[in-house]
């Protein structure tokens, strides 16, 4: 079940986790008709330091051999326009025109879920990085792109048979950490709930391969990898699309060590750099905007074409949907 621990990571070069230059916020993004979900995700990715450093260096476009559309080349051109041009706002038309390439379910002039769009953006970037490597999964068995060490990781799920004590480790790949906030008032409480030991008994008993019995067991999620960029998704929408609107506290600085596998001994520190917010009552309506930290350290509210400086106190008061941290 699950997946094996990756044998390696595909990466063309080392990238810098900190900004390599200092400037305030760049351009806003025009709303082209219910594209706020797209705009907010693009801004959070644009202000991801190591992604911006990598694409602004031109390292991808220099070796890219993809014919026609390339998600990474499109993102590189977009980041250059936003961060390096002097205009107040740019049109995200290139992304609107390729919505179906990013995800077949996305439609123009329709509100989409920002978290779903983010996941498909990252997968499209991964596919772009694997041009000419269609058989990577059979041949290499490695983490599937240069974006993977930045934005994805594995959750480890050790299951312990309470009859014989056998421990079976399973691994599942995630692009972000999904946090159930129904019973949590803070991100730290939600993370603690995620890694809480859970008993499997009654109808949930397992069949142990070693002692060949149906037995009670225990399981506990832990974070296996140390991603360079950590995305937390606060699960605000239930299966019907209704929203959990309560405020959940989140920190400027986060130590991931208490939620990782026990072999990780040193602190694993992250710093907040972007917050994506949804305003409204359901995932099919409302409005998305975000807050980002520029390379100068100043926070800004990015609301489509509007770009306004704000205080860190304002940021921490938001009812966040997605939180972005960097090591």
SS3 197: coil
**b (16+ CB within 10 A) / e for 33-42:** ebbbbbbbbb
Q: How confident is the model at residue 134 (pLDDT cuts 50, 70, 90)?
A: very low
Predicted confidence band of residue 14 (pLDDT cuts 50, 70, 90): low
For residue 202, tell me if it sits in a domain: yes
Higher pLDDT, 208 or 287: 287
Q: To the nearest whole number, what is the mean pLDDT of the chain?
A: 83
Active site residue 36: yes
CATH number at residue 205: 3.90.70.10
In this structure, is residue 13 part of a structural domain? no
Which of 36, 154, 156, 161 is an active site residue?
36
| Bridge-based pairing state of the strands 89-90 and 28-29 | parallel
- Residue 1 belongs to some domain of the structure: no
The predicted pLDDT at position 250 comes to 98
Going by the DSSP 8-state scheme, the letter that residue 206 receives in this structure is: E
168 pLDDT tier (thresholds 50, 70, 90): confident
pLDDT at 153: 58
User: How much of the chain exceeds pLDDT 90, in percent?
Assistant: 47
Report the alpha-carbon angle 289-92-243, nearest 5. Answer: 30
Give the confidence band of 17 by pLDDT, cuts at 50, 70, 90. confident
* Tokens, residue 276: 């994506």
CA dist 190 and 234 (Å) reads: 9
CA neighbor of 69 nearest in space, from 39, 92, 100, 91: 100
Q: Is residue 143 a part of any domain in this protein?
A: no
The answer to the question of residue 222 being in a domain is yes
d(CA 98, CA 74): 10
Confidence (pTM): 0.86
CA 293 – CA 309 distance, rounded (Å): 10
The model's confidence at residue 147, banded by pLDDT at 50, 70 and 90, is low
**pLDDT digits 0-9 by tens, 236-290:** 988 777 889 999 999 999 998 888 876 666 888 999 999 999 998 877 789 999 9
Token pair in block for residue 89: 């706002």
Tell me the average pLDDT across 120-148. 59
User: Would you say residue 215 lies in a domain?
Assistant: yes
Mind listing the pLDDT tens digit for each residue in 70-111?
899 999 999 999 999 889 999 999 999 999 999 999 998 888
Tell me, what's the pLDDT at 151? 53
The distance in angstroms from the start CA to the end CA of the chain is 30
Q: How many CB atoms lie within 10 A of CB 273?
A: 23
pLDDT at 74: 94
Distance set, CA 151 to CA 49, 96, 145, 187, 310 (Å): 12, 23, 10, 19, 27
In a domain, 99, yes or no: yes
pLDDT tens digits, residue range 24-73? 899 999 999 999 999 999 999 999 998 898 889 888 888 787 777 889 99
Closest CA to 113 of 128, 124, 98, 103: 103
Distance between CA 152 and CA 138 in Å, rounded? 20
Q: Which domain holds residue 315?
A: 28-131+151-326
Helix (H) or strand (E) holding 71: helix 71-84
pLDDT at 4: 58
The answer to whether 46 and 300 have CB atoms below 8 angstroms apart is no
Q: Is residue 273 part of a domain?
A: yes
Q: Which residue has the tokens 């986060």?
A: 254
Tracing tokens 């919505």 back to the chain, one arrives at 99
Q: Would you state the pLDDT for residue 201?
A: 80
- The total number of structural domains that make up the chain: 1
Does the pLDDT at position 139 exceed 60? no
| 146, pLDDT greater than 70 | no
Is residue 120 among the annotated active site residues?
no
d(Cα 147, Cα 156) in Å, to the nearest integer? Answer: 20
**Catalytic residue (one of 60, 129, 287, 310):** 287
* Mean pLDDT along residues 192-198: 83
- Using DSSP, state whether 190 is helix, strand or coil: helix
- Of all helices (H) and strands (E), which one includes residue 301? strand 299-303
Q: How far apart are CA 180 and CA 158, in angstroms?
A: 20
Per-residue pLDDT for 143 more than 50? no
């Amino acid at each position: 079940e699950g997946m094996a621990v990756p044998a390696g990571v595909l990466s063309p070069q080392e990238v810098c986790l900190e900004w390599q230059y200092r400037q305030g916020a760049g351009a806003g993004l025009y709303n082209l008709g219910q594209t706020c979900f797209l705009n907010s995700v693009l801004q959070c990715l644009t202000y991801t330091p190591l992604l911006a450093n990598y694409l602004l260096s031109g390292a991808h476009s220099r070796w890219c051999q993809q014919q026609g559309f390339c998600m990474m080349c499109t993102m590189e051109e977009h980041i250059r326009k936003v961060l390096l041009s002097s205009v107040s706002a740019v049109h995200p038309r290139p992304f609107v025109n390729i919505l179906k390439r990013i995800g077949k379910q996305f439609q123009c002039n329709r509100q989409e879920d920002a978290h779903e769009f983010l996941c498909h953006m990252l997968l499209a970037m991964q596919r772009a990085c694997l041009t000419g490597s269609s058989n990577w999964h059979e041949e290499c068995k490695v983490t599937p792109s240069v974006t993977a060490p930045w934005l994805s990781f594995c959750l480890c799920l050790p299951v312990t048979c309470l009859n014989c004590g056998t421990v079976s480790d399973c691994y599942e790949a995630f692009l972000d950490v999904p946090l159930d906030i129904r019973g949590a008032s803070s991100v730290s409480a939600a993370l603690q709930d995620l890694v809480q030991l859970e008993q499997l008994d009654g109808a949930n008993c397992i069949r142990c391969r070693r002692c060949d019995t149906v037995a009670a067991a225990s399981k506990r999620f832990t974070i296996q990898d140390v991603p360079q960029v950590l995305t937390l998704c606060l699960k605000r929408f239930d299966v019907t699309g209704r929203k959990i609107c309560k405020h959940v506290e989140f920190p400027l600085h986060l130590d991931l060590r208490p939620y990782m596998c026990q072999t990780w001994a040193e602190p694993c520190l992250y710093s907040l750099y972007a917050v994506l917010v949804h305003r409204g009552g359901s995932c099919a309506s409302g409005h998305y905007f975000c807050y980002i930290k520029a390379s100068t350290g100043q926070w800004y509210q990015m609301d489509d074409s509007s770009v306004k400086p704000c205080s860190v106190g304002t940021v921490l008061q938001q009812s966040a949907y997605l939180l972005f941290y960097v090591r």
